[in-house]
Structures are given as structure tokens and as C-alpha cells.
Amino acid sequence: MRKREVDEEILNELDVLVMNEQEIREALEEWEKLSVSLENRMRMKCG
């Protein structure tokens, strides 16, 4: 492979990793929101 091809391949892989990290972060944020909502609902039912 030529250097340019290798550089492009590396950049493409980095883009995939960044997208995966962003998706994971968004999923964790959503999970935290749902967990808090569930916790609050449970408190209302029990309290």
C-alpha cells in the first residue's frame, strides 16, 4: 500500500471509532435518564 492509502485507511478506522464512542456515550446518557426515571417512578409507587 502506498502511504496515502494507509493514511486514508487509518482515518477511516478512526472515524468508525469516534462514531462508536459517540453512540456509546449517547446510549449511556439515555440509560442514565431512563434509570433516574425508573427510580423516581418506583419511589412514587412505594412512597
Count of domains for the chain:
1
Q: Which of 20, 1, 25, 23 is nearest to 10 (CA)?
A: 1
The pLDDT, as a whole number, for residue 34 is 85
CA atoms 33, 35, 38, 42: torsion sign: negative
What is the domain range of residue 31?
Answer: 1-47
Q: How many C-beta atoms surround the C-beta of residue 43 within 10 A?
A: 9
3-state secondary structure of 25: helix
Identify the residue whose cell numbers are 449511556.
28
The pLDDT, as a whole number, for residue 24 is 93
Q: Is the pLDDT of residue 47 over 70?
A: no
pTM flag (> 0.85): no
Q: What is the pLDDT of residues 6-37, one digit of tens each?
A: 999 999 999 999 889 999 999 999 988 888 88
